Amino acid sequence: MNYTLLPGTDVKISEICLGTMTFGQQNSEADGHAQIDSALDKGINFIDTAEMYAVPAREKTYGSTEEIIGTWLKKSGRRDEIVLATKIAGPNRGLPYIREDLQFNDATIRLSVEKSLLRLQTDYIDLYQLHWPERNVNFFGQRGFKVKGEAWEDNIQQVLETIQALINEGKIKHFGLSNETPWGLMRFVEESRKHNLPKIVTTQNPYSLLNRTFEVGLAEVCHRENVGLLAYSPLAFGVLSGKFLTGEPQPNARITLFSNFSRYNSENTRKASALYNEIAKDNGLTLTEMALAFIRQQQFVASTIIGATTLEQLEENINTTKVILSDEILLEIEKVQSLIPDPAP
C-alpha cells in the first residue's frame, strides 16, 4: 500500500480509503467489522463515514454506520491506527429526522459532532466534512447550475470559526468539504486566508471514468490551493466493475436496489462502460483494475474511497494498487471520454 499526506498536514493516509456507507444496510455489523479488519491488514489506515449513513438514507438506519465503526473501535482498541473521517448532513435532502435545523451554524455543527463522537465511541474526529453545501448547487446528477430562489446567506466565516473552536477543543483535527463546486471551495479558501481560520485540506467529490466533471474547474483549484480530492463512487455504483455488461440480472446491486441512483444506469453509461471494458481486456486488465488505476494516477487525488459488500470485492479493489496504466492506455481512455463525456455526472 502506498501512502500520502493529507494536504498541508503531517497526517499519513493510504491511497485507498475504506468507504462504509453499506454498513447497516447491505452489510451487517459483523460484515463491517470484518471489512475493517481486512482493510487494515492490507495497509489501509483511512476510513470514511457520515452521520446520515447507511445509504440509502432512512430514519431506521440513520447513524448505524458510525455505530458499527464505533463498536469496532471499542472492541479492537486500534483507534490510533486509523485516520477517521465523517460528515455532517446539510439541508435540502429530506432528512428531518437527523436534526430539526439542518443549516450549518455553531449549534448544529456542535450537536452533530457530539452525536458522531458518541456513535463512533471516540474522543476526536481526524477529518470533519460538510457533506454537501447549504446553497443551491449542481450535484448528485445535475449537470448545470440553475439559478433558484434561496434563503441562504453567506455564512462561511461563521462555519470556519466554529470549526476552529472545535479544533481548539480537540474534538476534530482537520476540516474538509464534499460535493463542492469551484466557487464554494474558493470561498472557504478566501475566508480561511483572510481571517486566519482553518484551511480546507480535502474535498470529497465523485470522480470516475464515467464522471470526470471534477477536472473542469475544481482540479485546478485543488492543485493551486493544495486541496486533495477524496474520490468517491470510483466504480460508479458498481457499473465499472463490469458486472452489468454480462446481461445477467444483478438483483443485489446498488443501482438495482436503490432507484434514486439512476444517473449510473443510462444508455450512455452502458455504452461508455462497454468501450472502457474493451480497452481493459485488450491490455490484460479487468475493468475494475483500469477504472481504479486511472483515478489513482491523477495528481490531484489524495485518496480513492472504495466500498464493497463482500470481502472478495474489497480484496479485488485493494489489489488494483499494483496496476499502472501506460500512456497508450490513457490515450485510449481519452478517446472514449471525447466520444461520450461524463455520462454519469
Q: Residue with C-alpha cell 480530492?
A: 229
Number of compact structural domains in the chain: 1
pLDDT of residue 260: 61
pLDDT of residue 245: 83
**Phi-psi category of 77—alpha, beta or left, where left has phi over 0 and alpha has psi -120 to 50?**
left
> What's the burial of 16, exposed, middle or buried (CB within 10 Å: 0-12/13-18/19+)?
buried
Span 159-177, mean pLDDT? 98
Is 332 inside any structural domain? Answer: no
Catalytic choice (53, 62, 232, 264): 53
Asked whether residue 333 carries a pLDDT value surpassing 80, the answer given is: yes
Structural domain including 57 reads 3-241+295-323
The SS3 of residue 153 is: coil
Span 119-130, mean pLDDT? 98
Does the annotation count 53 as an active-site position? yes
pLDDT of residue 262: 66
Span 159-168, mean pLDDT? 98
Neighbouring residues of 53: CB distance < 8 A, sequence distance ≥ 6 = 20, 21, 23, 24, 61, 63, 64, 65, 66
Is 249 inside any structural domain? Answer: no
**Phi-psi category of 148—alpha, beta or left, where left has phi over 0 and alpha has psi -120 to 50?**
beta
Span 38-61, mean pLDDT? 96
Is 170 inside any structural domain? Answer: yes
Is 141 inside any structural domain? Answer: yes
CA distances from residue 206 to 126, 132, 167, 305, 341 in whole angstroms, order as listed: 21, 12, 27, 10, 15
Q: Evaluate whether 4 touches 13 at the Cβ level (below 8 Å).
A: yes
Residue 139 maps to which CATH number?
Answer: 3.20.20.100
Span 90-100, mean pLDDT? 88
Span 58-65, mean pLDDT? 96
pLDDT of residue 233: 96
The C-alpha cell at 136 is 443551491
Is 17 inside any structural domain? Answer: yes
Q: Evaluate whether 59 touches 22 at the Cβ level (below 8 Å).
A: no
Q: pLDDT averaged over the chain?
A: 94
3-state secondary structure 28-85: CHHHHHHHHHHHHHCCCCEEECCCCCCCCCCHHHCCHHHHHHHHHHHHHCCHHHCEEE
CA distance 150 to 108: 20
At residue 143 the predicted structure's pLDDT band, cuts being 50, 70 and 90, is confident
> What's the burial of 104, exposed, middle or buried (CB within 10 Å: 0-12/13-18/19+)?
buried
DSSP H stretches of helix in the chain:
29-41, 64-76, 106-120, 156-168, 182-195, 218-225, 254-257, 267-282, 287-296, 311-319, 327-339
Give 186-227 pLDDT, tens digit per residue.
999 999 999 999 999 999 999 999 999 999 999 999 999 999
Give 252-279 pLDDT, tens digit per residue.
666 666 666 667 888 999 999 999 999 9
Query: What percentage of the chain has pLDDT greater than the value 90?
Result: 86
Amino acid at the residue 326: S
For the chain, how far is it from start to end, CA to CA, in angstroms?
A: 29
The C-alpha cell at 284 is 490484460
Is 274 inside any structural domain? Answer: no
Span 20-29, mean pLDDT? 97
CA distance 98 to 94: 10
Half-sphere exposure of 276 (CA within 13 A, CB side): 33
Asked whether residue 141 carries a pLDDT value surpassing 90, the answer given is: no
Span 277-291, mean pLDDT? 98
CA distance 176 to 185: 10
